[in-house]
Amino acid sequence: MLLALTIALAVILVITSILLIVLILLHRGKGGGLSDLFGGGVSSSIGGSSVAEKNLDRLTVGLGLIWAAAVVAVGLLVPRLA
């Protein structure tokens, strides 16, 4: 049972890691970043970041929290397997 939970958490950790890499690369940096490839550079915002950028921020933070929780859970479960 404990091994299955650890494997499931490891899979969640890998998936969230890959998604975080993609989401972080989509963010607009000083030079526009990779978000320009997908049309992110077309929108110009006068009053700050656009709605899409704010939603991307929220999604990245939420996924980061899930990733951090998975890291802590795996760290707590792995020593019990030994």
**pTM here?**
0.74
What tokens does 60 get? 């990245």
Residue 37, pLDDT score:
62
Half-sphere exposure of 5 (CA within 13 A, CB side): 12
Q: CB under 8 Å to 53, separation ≥6 — which residues?
A: 27, 28, 40, 45
Mind listing the pLDDT tens digit for each residue in 5-45? 999 999 999 999 999 999 999 987 765 556 566 665 555 55
Helix (H), strand (E) counts: the chain: 2, 0
Whether 9 contacts 56, CB under 8 Å: no
